[in-house]
Structure 1
Amino acid sequence: MLASLPMYDRPGNAAAHDALWSAIRDGLRARGIAAPDRLDRTVPHREGWRRADLVLGQVCVRPLLREHRDLVRIGCLDHGLPDTPAGFYRSVFVSRADDPRDPAAEGLRFAYNSPCSHSGWGAAQAWRAARGLPPLPATLRTGGHLASLAALREGRADLACVDLVTLAIDARLGGGPRALHLGPRTAPVPGQTLVTRHPDPAPFREAVRDALAALSGAHRRALGGRALAVPPDAAYAAVPLPADPPAAA
């Protein structure tokens, strides 16, 4: 059996993720659902989404809609982002503070984390498309949001698109947008979605809500997720799915 919460799990908040899973695990077992003892941090997240024994996972909305519609949606942790529906998230365009860039401009060197990411790739391209602009060039694939921010600071890119939850967690863990300029925000979409292979999401929702309520204040602050929200099907259907970057990018 596999349980994994990979999207915001870092060394600085790993203990909070472990505490959350321990409470969810106990809640599932109390409801007659088998669950592994610990979170797995060894299985790559894209491989985990395909596992038939996935008890609990977490997936970005772009791969969820493009490749993994068979996963059963439990809901999204609500991070309390301003002007954003519960359980949704947004990205923000980021450039260097000493060289702020307009994301509507042309000729930008764009750093993105992965073509399977809504927050780093799809949201940015959808923002441009909504304004009748051509796609941003896939200048630099970095492998992660923090690596994209590093590329900006080091002058290897002019622009990136990073989700606001990542920036909030980075700030709580001692990082934050140092020497960076925050530009326009993208449209809200359902956040990183908790999923399972179990056919009934109801007991999972109950277990997650009970687990969040039982967390200590310190663990709750480290996670940032304060409640479970269940976005409607229509919210997922409305998510734009821009094309992937060229294969060579």
Structure 2
Amino acid sequence: MTASLPMYDTPTTRAANDRLWHLIRDDDSTTELDRATDPHVTWISPDLLFSQTCGLPYRRELHGRVKLVGTPDYGVRGCPPGYYRSVIVVRHDDPRRDLAAFRGAVLARNDRRSQSGWAAIEGHLAETGLGFSFAGQTHDTGAHALSSQAVIDGRADLAALDAVTWTLIKRENPQARLLRVLCSTRPTPGLPYITSLRQDADRLFDRASQAIARLSGRDRARLLLKGIVRIPATAYLAEPLPPDG
């Protein structure tokens, strides 16, 4: 069996994630978190016991191939439980004050398969009628933290960051003070826990709920975790797909 918690696994959360997983897994399981395998490979493994994915990969690649277990709630301000949003950050000294002024700018993007780093900002552009896209104008970095650094360093003009990750970046990177939030996108379903089709998702939901409750207050604060909720697959599938560029 294989398990991973790749989405919010940083130097300051790694040990707490290990403790969370040890509380979730069966008492007789020796499965440890896999931090070496590409998550996109882990997610489709028939041996998948537990992982966390992103909304865009779920609706584009994983729906029908995995079971939703539940969605962790990080208490993101202005969002329903289990939902989150993206914050669009720019350099603190950038004189542009609204997103419309960034037409033709370079967007630092963690991954074209990312809900928060790509689909959210493209959806925001479409929903607000700004009439442009960042397709073909991206600097792909591989991680939200690297996208924020690309903006700080001037290799990109702006980045759309998962609001939970933005909180972690501010906690871990002193240079985050060189960025400011330009605007935020609307709430969308958060990053769900998943398991393979052969596993009992309801049982894993109960174990995850109990594990979060049993975590120390310090670990819950470190992981920003408030609990776990059920968000139906239809809510994930209803979100629009971004352009492929």
> Shorter-chain TM-score: which interval?
over 0.9
Q: How far did 1:174 drift?
A: 5.2
- Structure 1 distance, partners of 2:95, 2:56, is 28
Aligned to 1:37: 31
Aligned to 1:242: 242
Aligned to 1:205: 205
Per-residue Cα deviation, 1:208-245 (whole angstroms, up to 9, x for no partner): 01000110111111111110011133321321111211
Map residues 53-132 of structure 1 onto 2, 5 A cutoff: 53-69=47-63, 70-101=65-96, 102-105=98-101, 106-132=103-129
Aligned residues: 239
Q: How far did 1:194 drift?
A: 0.3
Aligned identity (percent) is: 40
- Structure 1 distance, partners of 2:43, 2:233, is 20
- Structure 2: tracts of 5 or more residues without a match: none
TM-score (norm 2): 0.92
Query: Which one of 132, 135, 142 corresponds to residue 133 of structure 2?
Result: 135
Q: How far did 1:170 drift?
A: 2.2
Q: Is the 8 A contact 2:74 2:226 kept in 1?
A: yes
- Structure 1 distance, partners of 2:173, 2:161, is 17
Q: Is the 8 A contact 2:16 2:222 kept in 1?
A: yes
Q: Which runs of 4+ in 1 moved over 4 A?
A: none
Q: 1:100 to 1:6 in 2, by over 3 A?
A: farther
Q: How far did 1:200 drift?
A: 2.9
- Structure 2 distance, partners of 1:183, 1:206, is 39
Paired residue secondary structure (2:25)? helix
- Structure 1: tracts of 5 or more residues without a match: none
Segment drifting more, 192-201 vs 75-84: 192-201
TM-score (norm 1): 0.91
Q: Is the 8 A contact 2:170 2:177 kept in 1?
A: no
Paired residue secondary structure (1:104)? helix
Q: Is the 8 A contact 1:5 1:39 kept in 2?
A: yes
Paired residue secondary structure (1:66)? helix
Q: What CA RMSD, in Å, does the superposition of the two structures yield over aligned residues?
A: 1.6
Paired residue secondary structure (1:38)? coil
Per-residue Cα deviation, 1:80-107 (whole angstroms, up to 9, x for no partner): 0111010111001110010053222312
Q: How far did 1:176 drift?
A: 7.0
Aligned to 2:17: 17
Q: 1:64 to 1:233 in 2, by over 3 A?
A: closer
Per-residue Cα deviation, 1:120-178 (whole angstroms, up to 9, x for no partner): 01101110011232212433111111111111111111111001100112233354731
Q: Tell me which amino acid in the other structure corresponds to 2:66.
A: L
Aligned to 1:147: 146
Q: How far did 1:183 drift?
A: 1.4
Q: 1:13 to 1:175 in 2, by over 3 A?
A: farther
Q: Please tell me whether residue 157 in structure 1 is matched to residue 152 in structure 2.
A: no
- Structure 1 distance, partners of 2:59, 2:95, is 33
